[in-house]
Amino acid sequence: MTKTRASGNSGARGSPAGPVRPEPTLNAMIPLQAVTPAALTEAIPGVPIEEARRIVGAIHRQDRLPAVVRNVRRITLDRVRAAGALPTLAVRGAQCSRIDPFVKYSLSTPGGEVVETVRIPLERHGRYSVCVSSQAGCGLGCAFCATARLGFQRNLETWEIIEQVHVVRRGLNRVQGQRVHGIVFQGMGEPLANLDNVIESIHVANEPSGLAIDGRAITVCTAGLPTGIRRLAREAPAVRLALSIASPIPSVRRRLMPIDLAFPLEEVLDAALEHSMVTGLAPMWSFTLLDGVNDSVHDARSLAQLARDFRRRGGLRPRISIVPFNPIDPAGPQSFVRSSHDREAAFRRVLSEAGLPSHKRYSGGADILGACGQLAGSHAQHTGQMPFVALTPPPVDD
Ligand code: SF4
């Protein structure tokens, strides 16, 4: 069963029509958007699995627990209503990029932490991916990331992760067929440092009677925690893995990503190799290009060598994703600068000549500090870039 409980902010919808047991306290209530049918059945005695499926389906379709669910007995609904709640994240605002159709949401948890979520348009018309946060803040301290400046605050609960998807869905026109197609765990926080809740939220998102998001459309991005990578392969084998490489040269990587001191890239790649073998999925290696730091021809050759070794040992050819550096605080002093077009082209040419095609990630929403590496919660609100707009998300221009 799910271990998650609502941590306040009830949002319980509908009125109980005669609870069949004493009213639980809010803290003990089951957050209904974060359970699978099996977990619901296990958590609430007397809820058969077929009815649990219908209830979970109705909750995700209607964004509430309706008064009546087809082919579900009244007594079952009463039981669920008495034991569960639909807690919410308060939407502080939504910023719509002026240069592309990205939207960044700023959300408050019941405890008052601010987390950010980004709606990413996909190539296919009307399809979106949701970049979710898995922690408030982050303790890993990557030098090129705005979230690192906040430090670690806490792990998000499963319902807080799923609720981010619901927030984005509420802004879509589902009548016109707009829908959330995928999830990328690349918002604030290191997802593998909150693995219980991340895996649980993957199972909830996958649930066919609920959000029904295919595992292949879910990507977990990590700075590199080997134990977590291995567990992810076992417990969520349909999900894709993305690794932040930063530099193939140990001394440089350590400077950019202090986690490398505890888990050197070599160990991380051992775990990624196992992941690739167990899941049959090629990992993505993301590489944020920083001018004069990790973007030389020598860096590119070293990266290509690393990828060749990975394949030689039995892994699938990694997909290289080149991420342009996004300024952390455009108004402030910058410790890093985005690589020039020429340096980036030369870097990618070396990879290509080594048989390692790369793609350049389109990292949108830079003007709203919603691009890769820019999410920083309340910090971002005070940079004076753009005011947060009204609580209703902007319409999608489709
Ligand atoms: S890049 Fe990811 S792991 Fe590194 S500090 Fe930022 S949020 Fe944390």
Is the CB of 192 inside a 6 Å radius of any atom of ligand 1?
Answer: no
pLDDT number for residue 7: 44
**Which of 153, 190, 326 should be mutated for ligand 1, with most atoms under 8 A from CB?**
190
Name the strand (E) or helix (H) holding 378: helix 378-381
Burial 49-81 (b: 16+ CB within 10 A, else e): eebbbbbbbbbbeeeebbeebeebeeebbbbbb
How far does the centroid of ligand 1 lie from the alpha carbon of residue 41, in Å? 36
Is the CB of 145 inside a 6 Å radius of any atom of ligand 1?
Answer: yes
pLDDT number for residue 395: 41
- Tell me the domain boundaries of the chain: 1-87, 90-381
Among the listed residues 51, 113, 116, 163, the single catalytic one is 116
pLDDT number for residue 316: 94
CB 315 within 8 A of CB 276: yes
How far does the centroid of ligand 1 lie from the alpha carbon of residue 165, in Å? 20
**Which of 140, 153, 188 should be mutated for ligand 1, with most atoms under 8 A from CB?**
140
CA distance 213 to 205: 6
CA distance 93 to 369: 14
Closest C-alpha among 339, 389, 40, 355 to residue 204: 40
- 90-381 belongs to which CATH class? alpha beta
Atom of ligand 1 nearest to the CA of 244: 1
Atom of ligand 1 nearest to the CA of 148: 5
The residue whose CA is least distant from atom 7 of ligand 1 is 189
Is the CB of 138 inside a 6 Å radius of any atom of ligand 1?
Answer: yes
CA distance 85 to 274: 39
Is the CB of 326 inside a 6 Å radius of any atom of ligand 1?
Answer: no
pLDDT number for residue 312: 95
How far does the centroid of ligand 1 lie from the alpha carbon of residue 37, in Å? 33
Atom of ligand 1 nearest to the CA of 146: 6
The 3-state DSSP composition of the chain as helix, strand, coil percent (nearest 5) reads: 35, 20, 45
Sign of CA dihedral 182, 188, 330, 286: negative
pLDDT number for residue 373: 62
pLDDT number for residue 383: 33
CB 77 within 8 A of CB 89: no
pLDDT tens across the length of the chain (398 residues): 444 455 433 333 333 333 444 444 556 899 999 999 999 999 999 999 999 999 999 999 999 999 999 999 999 999 999 999 999 999 999 998 777 778 999 999 999 999 999 999 998 989 999 999 999 999 999 999 989 999 999 999 999 999 999 999 999 988 888 999 999 999 999 999 999 999 999 999 999 999 999 999 999 999 999 999 999 999 999 999 999 999 999 999 999 999 999 999 999 999 999 999 999 999 999 999 999 999 999 999 999 999 999 999 998 999 999 998 888 765 555 689 999 999 999 999 999 999 999 998 766 665 666 666 677 664 444 332 333 333 334 444 33
Is the CB of 190 inside a 6 Å radius of any atom of ligand 1?
Answer: yes
3-class SS of residue 200: helix
Q: Are strands 114-121 and 103-108 parallel, antiparallel or unpaired?
A: antiparallel
Report DSSP state, residue 216.
G
CB 121 within 8 A of CB 162: no
Q: What pTM does this model have?
A: 0.88
The residue whose CA is least distant from atom 3 of ligand 1 is 190
Give the length of the chain: 398
- Positions of E strands within the chain: 30-31, 84-85, 90-96, 103-108, 114-121, 127-131, 135-137, 152-155, 179-185, 218-222, 240-244, 284-289, 319-324, 358-360
pLDDT number for residue 332: 57
pLDDT number for residue 43: 96
Residue 138 among the catalytic residues = no
Atom of ligand 1 nearest to the CA of 221: 2
Residue 116 among the catalytic residues = yes
Is the CB of 140 inside a 6 Å radius of any atom of ligand 1?
Answer: yes
pLDDT number for residue 118: 94
CA distance 202 to 183: 9
CB 272 within 8 A of CB 283: yes
Is the CB of 191 inside a 6 Å radius of any atom of ligand 1?
Answer: no
Amino acid in position 135: Q
Residue 226, C-beta contacts closer than 8 angstroms, at least 6 positions apart: 263, 267, 268, 270, 271
Atom of ligand 1 nearest to the CA of 145: 6
